[in-house]
Amino acid sequence: MVKSVKGKPIITLQDITFSYEIEPGWNETVLQGMNMEIEQGSFVAILGHNGSGKSTLAKLMNGLLLPHDGVVTVNGNDTSEQERLYEIRRTVGMVFQNPDNQIVGTSVEEDVAFGLENLGVEPTEMRNRIDEALRAVHMEAYAKQEPHRLSGGQKQRIAIAGVIAMRPSVIVLDEATAMLDPQGRREVCSLIKRLNRDEGITVVTITHFPEEALDADRVIVMQRGSVYLDGPPREIFSRTEELQSIGLDVPHAVRLRHHLVRDGVELPPILHQEELVEELCKLLLKT
Amino acid sequence: MNFLQNFAIGQYVPRDSFVHRLDPRSKLLFLLFFTLLVFWANNWFSYGLLLCFLFMVTAASRIPGVYLLRGLKPVWFMLVITVILHLLITKGGAVYVQWGWFSIEQAGVQQAIYMAFRLGALVTMGALLTLTTTPMDLTDGLERLLAPLKRFNVPVHELALMLSIAMRFIPTLLEETDKIIKAQKARGVDFETGPLIQRAKHMIPIVIPLFVGAFRRAEELALAMEARGYRGGEGRTRLRQLHLSWRDTLLAGIAILLGVLMGWWRE
Ligand SMILES: Nc1ncnc2c1ncn2[C@@H]1O[C@H](COP(=O)(O)OP(=O)(O)O)[C@@H](O)[C@H]1O
Ligand SMILES: [Mg+2]
């Protein structure tokens, strides 16, 4: 089920150190000696509790923040090179947590146009790209709508449309589902999965919900500004106790299996609910 | 959701009319020209001409008169004061009413009517502009008309963007205000009764979270804009293009005609 991780690295972080200046002369180090490579076409989920530096990491990936030490490259371009910055921001699109605070346009299509206008795309070409992007997120019927009339999930899909209209290679989502209801969360999750699978867009999604990491190729767990665990979800979530010890949750099925195994039921490692059901049925037939 | 579902930014009334389809730049320029004409007019003929024209534009815009009257509402008070002041202060001509030192004379009546007309005509024309033009078209038109001022370092693009972002966030902030008010009411804060000072004090727990929220929003929005490659007006293209059409040429013709007639009929 797990896709093989393919392609060459598109984002690389080497020995990154980053700190925020709280007051002159007083810095709070958030990331320390971090190394990471994001492969082209992969679907990466980043977990970690509040304050572990996830958002900071995301902002380093498209040059919104620059590392104090170390190098971040996107497609081989160093994010600290000012003249490459806009190329980098086009390559790495970003979706933020609060749907209301990232919509600039007074209508859906104008918001999708915002990034294209910044790039200097011609109006006719812009028209095509907007229509295409809105179709991709299934929002073409809302082109003229005012954003405040949309649901949270729809707003996030518009934000994603605004990013994919710029034809990025990577989309970074910083807790883009955190403020949504379950319906909106499902919409956004299935959309980013589809973009990764069908369009080959690299997805880096930062999330609080372990369920959202199940379909990723790779899960990275952050703890106190460095990479704590890194691997395919099956491997990461099998370390249930380790995750729980740093205050992270695991998917429901994984937790249930963990409790069952502890109580003496023999079960192989599983990831999805369906797998657990299947294994339990097998067990039932055997006895 | 709530009342905001039906909230519209600005007071645009969608209709398919000649006036609606004019380019916002033409409408803005015409409003300016009309303002000049209104102050240039100085006799019954010229005022009558402008009044006729105003009726014609209203008819052509297919905007129901009620909307225009509603537009006059905020200036009613000023209108009445102007009329009263002119009636009392301006002297000259035949005396209509005399009561001690108090008199109403012909010049006063005339001036009162002229001034009331000026004010009313300008407000009506302005209302017609905002009723027939979407706020976005208005900011676009303004940005393009003022573009030459960029040479004198006037931040035209930034001002226009500011205006459109403000419009984008009006419903969001209203919604937030509504939420905060409800939250405070749930805690037993009474906004409706009590002395004025008491009520004003109760506004503080609404205003402060609103401001804090607005600053947080602004910060996040700035970051999101940067992430989408915003770097000022330089080298930026626009989705919405403004096009002049035969209608705008016609409007220019009408403007010239109006100007010539005025020049002829005024004293
Ligand atoms: N703009 C900022 N100024 C100062 N400190 C910050 C700023 N942003 C984040 N921090 C601090 O950096 C740490 C990591 O924050 P962040 O990257 O947002 O973590 P996460 O997204 O995982 O919650 C936190 O301790 C936070 O307080
Ligand atoms: Mg965060």
B9 to chain A, any CB pair closer than 8 A? The answer is yes
Per-residue confidence in pLDDT tens, chain B, 267 aa = 445 555 555 678 888 899 999 999 999 999 999 999 999 988 888 999 999 999 999 999 998 888 888 878 878 888 899 899 888 888 888 888 888 778 888 888 888 999 999 999 999 999 899 899 988 888 899 999 999 998 999 999 999 999 889 888 988 888 888 888 888 888 887 777 778 888 888 888 888 989 999 999 999 999 999 999 999 888 899 998 888 999 999 999 999 999 999 888 888
State the smallest CA–CA distance between residue B60 and chain A in angstroms: 26
pLDDT of residue A25: 85
Contact A16, A31 (CB under 8 A): yes
Going by C-beta distance under 8 Å and a sequence separation of 6 or more, which residues neighbour residue A164? A93, A133, A136, A137, A171, A195, A199, A201
At residue B1, the pLDDT reads 42
pTM above 0.90, yes or no: no
User: CB A89 to CB B135 under 8 A?
Assistant: no
Q: Using CA atoms, how far apart are residues A250 and A47, in angstroms rounded to an integer?
A: 10
pLDDT of residue B10: 64
Alpha helix stretches (DSSP H) within B147-195: 156-186
Please name every residue paired with A19 in a beta bridge, in sequence order, or none if there are none: A29
The three-point CA angle A276-A281-A287 to 5° equals 125
Option in A96, A126, A127 nearest B220 (CB): A96
Q: Is B33 helix (H, G, I), strand (E, B) or coil?
A: helix
CA distances from B43 to B46, B113, B263 (A): 6, 11, 11
Q: What are the residue ranges spanned by the domains of chain A?
A: 9-250
The pLDDT value recorded for residue B7 is 54
Structure-derived torsion over alpha carbons of residues A46, A50, A54, A59, reported in degrees to the nearest 10? 140
Which residue in A102, A104, A122 is closest to B237 by CB distance? A122
Q: Which residues 116-145 of chain B have a CB within 8 Å of chain A?
A: 135-136
Extract the residue ranges of chain A whose pLDDT is less than 50. 1-5
Q: Cβ of A162 and B228 within 8 Å?
A: yes
- Contact A207 CB / ligand 1 (< 6 Å): no
Name the CATH code of domain A9-250 (choices 3.40.50.2300, 3.40.50.10330, 3.40.50.300, 3.10.580.10): 3.40.50.300
Sequence-ordered strand ranges (E) for chain A: 9-23, 26-39, 43-47, 69-74, 77-78, 92-95, 170-174, 202-206, 218-223, 226-231
What's the confidence (pLDDT) of residue B233?
A: 84
Q: What is the pLDDT of residue A6?
A: 60
CA A175 to ligand 1: nearest atom:
21
Q: Output the CA A187–ligand 2 centroid distance in Å.
A: 21
Chain A: nearest CA to B149, how far in angstroms? Answer: 22
Task: Give tens-digit pLDDT for A199-217.
Answer: 999 999 999 899 999 999 9
Q: Which residue of B has its CA nearest to A86?
A: B229
Q: In degrees rounded to 5, what are phi and psi of residue A262?
A: -65, -30
Q: From the list A86, A126, A149, which residue is nearest B229 (CB)?
A: A86
| Number of inter-chain CB pairs under 8 A, A vs B | 96
Distance CA A197, CA A203 (A): 10
pLDDT at position A153: 95
Residue A89, min C-alpha distance to chain B (Å) = 6
Distance A175 CA to ligand 2 centre (A): 7
